[in-house]
Structure 1
Amino acid sequence: MCPPPAAPGAIVVGTFPLESGEWIAPHAHTHHQLAWTRGGVLGVGIGDAYWVLPPTRALWIPAGTRHSTGATRGALLHGLYFPPERCAIDWPDPTPVVVDGLLAHLIAHLSRDDLPEDARLRAEAVAVDLLRPLPTTPIDVPYPVDDRVRAVADALLTDPADPRGLEVHARAIGVSRRTLTRLFTSDTGMTFDHWRTHARLRAALPLLAEGHPVSRVARTVGYATPSSFLAAFRRTVGTSPGRYLGTSTEEAGRGE
């Protein structure tokens, strides 16, 4: 996917509808990109890192960064493209930002193709000034190379609530618990428990962003109680799901 033809100002806005489950193949841009959706839930994968973006969040993707973009629920992707040579922002890494009502309005405003050049330039200046980085961490789920470890990983990605422990998985692939422990750590850089926690939390994020109750999401991804899920999320990410996503999910959604 390439940015649309250049506009009079420094920012070009492209709009791309995405169906639920639809993903754009990995690609990179010569421009910096800000990926945002007005509705639905957007997902962005960069290497082993994965971001879930409800309408309250956008992701800054530096020029040249290979990424894939998709929708976990039908979304209208707005891509803002910034020529590096004309952009005051030089964040070197993918960076989430808050999208409040004013920024959302400006993105819609900049999507118009009938703006006078002076009005566009003023709106662009305000939009750039509103971009503030969020101190959040993506949830990495390194995909293994070893076929034996991959078999276990695939089982957990298919069913994050799979209750089987390390020893049962080891028997299923014909190795000892000790061997699988060593293989998992050497292949993914994480222990089995650490990797499974990340896989479960990553599976939970789209469900939370869509507004499902925490109690239901916790069970779906393998936690017995909402409190154990929230504790794991805070321990891993450093904040609550609601703050991570810019919602009050865990406050409003504990019950059914």
Structure 2
Amino acid sequence: MQSHARGHLVYAAGGVLAVRTERGTSIVPADRVAWTPAGCTHQHRAHGDTDMRIVFLPPSLARRVPGQPAVFLASGLAREVLLALTRPGQDGDAGPDHSRSARLRLLRVLVDELREAPEQPLHLPEPRDDRLRAIARILYETPADNATLAELGKAVGAGTRTLSRLFRSELGMTFHEWRTQLRIHHALVLLADGHDATRTAYACGWANPSGFIAAFTDVMGTTPGRYRTGHRAPGHAS
């Protein structure tokens, strides 16, 4: 875990990144951009053949993006700016190929693009209640577990009504929504590691591939097959 004096953007040019903070974990598949504010303790983890690019924002521009961690869809222009700012020979902060003013102009364009981009529903909030944390541990370790909330409640010593209320009040979503989000996170990691849609579906707890494809497409806007073939990393990891 680490933190920085300036907020930063992390771009997955290829592969899948996971960004963990005290608020939860955000999954960052290819062509998404994760924002982590200044001073926010975080951890990056790469899955698959990942090409990770990092850009720090000056405070004047950081004020224009959210005050909490977020994931955005990268537009074509945002991708090109990110790649230009982080191409080989650049250090992610100030490189020899850009004057300071030219680099600042690129950063302004990037922030403008992100302000127009929709936030992605790829954040999995971290529970605080001990009972929810116990359920989270079970499902993190075995995402294919299809136990009902009532069955999980028996394992952690809480009733269904109490747990349902806690999921809504603490995490802002239902148990079903939270578990689906967790499974999508796990699916993105498996796809990055080269697994096909059928194997991924069963490993993540879907009864059949069609159910997985529908859920994945609803969140990601594309099918697992198209995502897997269209988001391969370049021939190196960084």
Q: Normalising by structure 1, what TM-score?
A: 0.66
Residue of structure 2 aligned with 1:164, choices 129, 147, 151: 147
Select between 90-99 and 215-224 the one with higher mean Cα deviation: 90-99
Compute the displacement of 1:208 (Å): 3.0
Say how many residue pairs are matched: 220
Distance 2:101 2:24 in 1: 37
* Structure 2 equivalent of residue 35 of structure 1: 10
* Structure 2 equivalent of residue 147 of structure 1: 130
Distance 2:71 2:160 in 1: 38
Q: Does 1:233 align with 2:211?
A: no
Residue of structure 2 aligned with 1:207, choices 175, 190, 196: 190
Superposed counterparts of 1:1-256, under 5 Å: 25-27=1-3, 29-37=4-12, 40-46=15-21, 47-54=23-30, 56-73=31-48, 75=50, 77-85=52-60, 87=61, 90-93=64-67, 94-96=70-72, 97-98=74-75, 100=79, 103-108=82-87, 111=90, 115=96, 118=99, 121-122=101-102, 125-126=105-106, 128-130=108-110, 132-133=113-114, 134-235=117-218, 237=219, 239-240=221-222, 248-249=226-227
CA RMSD of aligned residues (A): 3.6
Unpaired segments of 5 or more residues in structure 1?
Answer: 1-24
* Structure 1 equivalent of residue 234 of structure 2: none
Q: State whether residues 40 and 75 of structure 1, in contact with CA within 8 Å, keep that contact through their aligned partners in structure 2.
A: yes
Deviations 1:189-236 (A, max 9, x none): 43322221122122222223445322222211111223212322354x
Deviations 1:51-96 (A, max 9, x none): 3233x333233434443222223646432222224x4982235352
Unpaired segments of 5 or more residues in structure 2?
Answer: 232-238
Identity %: 33
Give the residue type in structure 2 aligned to 1:81: F
Runs of 4+ in 1 over 6 A off after TM superposition: 250-253
Q: State whether residues 17 and 46 of structure 2, in contact with CA within 8 Å, keep that contact through their aligned partners in structure 1.
A: yes
Relative contact order: is structure 1 or structure 2 higher (C-alpha 8 Å, sep ≥ 6)? 2
Compute the displacement of 1:187 (Å): 4.7
- In structure 2, the CA distance between the partners of 1:121 and 1:198, relative to structure 1 (3 Å rule), is same
Distance 1:171 1:88 in 2: 45
Compute the displacement of 1:101 (Å): 5.3
Distance 2:162 2:49 in 1: 42
Give the residue type in structure 1 aligned to 2:190: L
Q: Normalising by structure 2, what TM-score?
A: 0.71
Q: State whether residues 18 and 25 of structure 2, in contact with CA within 8 Å, keep that contact through their aligned partners in structure 1.
A: no
Say which SS state the counterpart of residue 125 (structure 2) adopts: coil
Say which SS state the counterpart of residue 141 (structure 1) adopts: strand
Q: Greater CA radius of gyration, 1 or 2?
A: 1
Say which SS state the counterpart of residue 231 (structure 1) adopts: helix
Select between 147-156 and 166-175 the one with higher mean Cα deviation: 166-175
Distance 2:166 2:148 in 1: 15
Compute the displacement of 1:136 (Å): 3.6
